[in-house]
A and B are shown apart, each in its own frame.
Chain A
Amino acid sequence: MTENDKASSRPTVADRTLSAAIAVDHLVKVYKQTRAVDDISFSLPRGSITGLLGGNGAGKTTTIAMIMGLVLPTSGRVQVLGHRMPEDSASVLGRMNFESPYVDMPMRLTVRQNLTVFGKLYAVKNLADRIAELAEDLDLGDFIDRANGKLSAGQKTRVALAKALINQPELLLLDEPTASLDPDTADWVRAHLERYRRDNNATILLASHNMFEVERLCDRVIIMKRGRIEDDDTPEAIMARYNRATLEEVFLDVARGRVNGAKEVAR
């Protein structure tokens, strides 16, 4: 193989963007005087699980909202599954899904009714079978015919996850997926997400404050602070760079401004 052949077989930036599940390029969001997201770029390969970390106001939710097309960027580009967002969202919204604490499922509808409505919106084939499958996987059987408003916080989270998985999405965006779950249920949800990713080669982008969760689930971590990407690597590499044993310690370093010193020491 000649050098020219090697060069031509190497993926170009455009190829990587097209094959990536998510490609974010110089993304900026300004609300009046506040730069909520400040010129960030990253690309997530298909089949990966990436954790988006950062304190309150770091820009995680705004970033996810721009990827979903719920918020328009001030500048920059977002591509999801090879399609530009939000211009070409109609081509891609049926192939992705999300769960977020910023939205709820209708309270008066039963779990089954909610899943039926969303299943129809996502044009899920054999919907009754899919709902039965999710009910078994996520252990919804005991309360599937109960109104969503009468469920415990943990049960609601499982229902929200069932809604997020109803269309077997290629891309799953999760904002605090295990918030308000007891440790046992949270662990069980994490195991389910790992299994889902493995079985479906799905891409998952996960915003979380639970560092243990991120360490366990994610093969890559993006740390944000004040709208910018502070670090972006595997959990192990980041912990090594900050000379810390856990991501929680790294998070505290970043949050308390001990980043630069620690980085210099580690490097």
Chain B
Amino acid sequence: MTDISLHRGISVHRIGAMILRYWYLLMSSWPRLLELLYWPALQVITWGFLQLYIAENANFFARAGGTLIGAVILWDILFRGQLGFSISFLEEMWARNIGNLMMSPLKPIEFLLSLMVMSLIRLAIGIIPMTLLALVMFHFNVYALGLPLIAFFCNLIFTSWSVGIFVSGLVLRNGLGAESIVWTLMFAILPLACVYYPVSVLPTWLQYVAWALPPTYAFEGMRALLIERTFRTDLMLEALAINAVLLFASFGAFLALLRSARKHGSLLSSGE
């Protein structure tokens, strides 16, 4: 599997084989399945009660019903999307299976596409029950957002894949010693993406940084929809453009890190 072989055809069968591998793994381990449900449920319950409490004591939040719980759900799409991607990748590192894959006809792009599909599957397992919980317990129906929800979802999942691809490359190059980046990098985005507050809260210079991140557009867009009842198409298109650049850049970085791993022999010693 080399970067040079990328121009050749992509095999759906090989992508399917990798998805099957992760599906077998998921089905063989109930703790893995439970973990997918546990954290999103905990998040929505905690933030749902906080939203109720604030709504009872503040007029603005009463009007802007659902911004907190909506933000939590969208944040989880972003965060769990990246984890779903990265954990499937880490499973290969933990299992010391990466050499087998690199020596097989599987191409980098096929490997990454299978990780993307797995991130969607894992996300669905975790997020769908979370949204139903929000509906039953807090009467917040995220699906009532309608078509804009698809735009928010796409922009968030594209960013999560970009981050997932980049950190996977880092782990491939540096071994499992770099694993903590997988779990923590997205939290560096959390304050800058303005998940729970508008961009206008940030100092002016930091607002430029925030607007460079596609999730900021999704969270601002969600607040515009819930508070002002306006769907900001312009925000979604700008986010899509930045996401396209990020995806392209992260894929380039992954290939460069893979090449560096080959140069330094890291694929043979993928431990700490």
Query: Footprint of B on A, CB under 8 Å?
Result: 31, 61-62, 65, 68-72, 86-90, 93-94, 97-98, 100, 102-110, 113, 116-118, 120-123, 147, 163
Judged by a CB distance under 8 angstroms, whether B229 is at the interface is no
Check A121/B103 contact, CB under 8 A, given A69-B2, A113-B24: no
Interchain CA distance A62-B264 in the complex, whole Å: 11
Interchain CA distance A241-B28 in the complex, whole Å: 56
Interchain CA distance A220-B148 in the complex, whole Å: 68
> What residues of A have a CB within 8 angstroms of the CB of B269 in the complex?
102
Query: Of the candidates B28, B103, B268, which one forms a contact with A108 in the assembled complex, judged by CB atoms under 8 Å apart?
Result: B28
Interchain CA distance A97-B28 in the complex, whole Å: 27
Beta-carbon contact of B263 and A72 below 8 Å: yes
Query: Of the candidates A62, A94, A147, which one forms a contact with B105 in the assembled complex, judged by CB atoms under 8 Å apart?
Result: A94
Query: Of the candidates A31, A89, A103, A121, which one forms a contact with B4 in the assembled complex, judged by CB atoms under 8 Å apart?
Result: A89
Judged by a CB distance under 8 angstroms, whether B83 is at the interface is no
The 9 residue pairs across chains A and B that have the minimum distance between CB atoms: A90-B5, A120-B17, A103-B99, A104-B96, A117-B21, A94-B105, A106-B95, A86-B2, A72-B262
Interchain CA distance A122-B103 in the complex, whole Å: 10
Judged by a CB distance under 8 angstroms, whether B267 is at the interface is yes
> What residues of A have a CB within 8 angstroms of the CB of B17 in the complex?
117-118, 120-121
Judged by a CB distance under 8 angstroms, whether B129 is at the interface is no
Judged by a CB distance under 8 angstroms, whether B191 is at the interface is no
Check A62/B265 contact, CB under 8 A, given A87-B4, A109-B24, A120-B17: yes
Closest to A94 in B: B105
Beta-carbon contact of A120 and B14 below 8 Å: yes
Contact count band on B: 35 or more
Beta-carbon contact of A118 and B265 below 8 Å: no
Judged by a CB distance under 8 angstroms, whether B249 is at the interface is no
Assuming A86-B4, A90-B107, A121-B105, what are 20 further A-B pairs, CB within 8 angstroms? Answer: A62-B265, A65-B268, A69-B102, A71-B267, A71-B268, A72-B259, A88-B5, A89-B5, A90-B8, A93-B103, A93-B104, A102-B99, A103-B99, A106-B97, A113-B21, A116-B20, A117-B17, A120-B17, A121-B17, A121-B18
Beta-carbon contact of B107 and A70 below 8 Å: no
Judged by a CB distance under 8 angstroms, whether B100 is at the interface is yes
> What residues of A have a CB within 8 angstroms of the CB of B4 in the complex?
86-90
Beta-carbon contact of A104 and B105 below 8 Å: no
Within 8 A of A (CB), among B134-189: none
How many whole Å from B170's CB to the nearest CB in chain A? 19
Interchain CA distance A86-B1 in the complex, whole Å: 8
Query: Of the candidates A69, A86, A102, A121, which one forms a contact with B106 in the assembled complex, judged by CB atoms under 8 Å apart?
Result: A121
Judged by a CB distance under 8 angstroms, whether B25 is at the interface is yes
Beta-carbon contact of A121 and B265 below 8 Å: no
Beta-carbon contact of B14 and A104 below 8 Å: no
How many whole Å from B24's CB to the nearest CB in chain A? 5
Judged by a CB distance under 8 angstroms, whether B29 is at the interface is yes
Within 8 A of A (CB), among B88-135: 91, 95-107
Check A70/B268 contact, CB under 8 A, given A105-B100, A107-B95: yes
Query: Of the candidates A87, A100, A117, which one forms a contact with B24 in the assembled complex, judged by CB atoms under 8 Å apart?
Result: A117
Check A104/B268 contact, CB under 8 A, given A72-B262, A93-B103, A122-B104: no
Beta-carbon contact of A108 and B13 below 8 Å: no
Interchain CA distance A117-B106 in the complex, whole Å: 11
Interface mask (B5-27 → A, CB under 8 Å = 1, otherwise 0): 10010010110111011001100
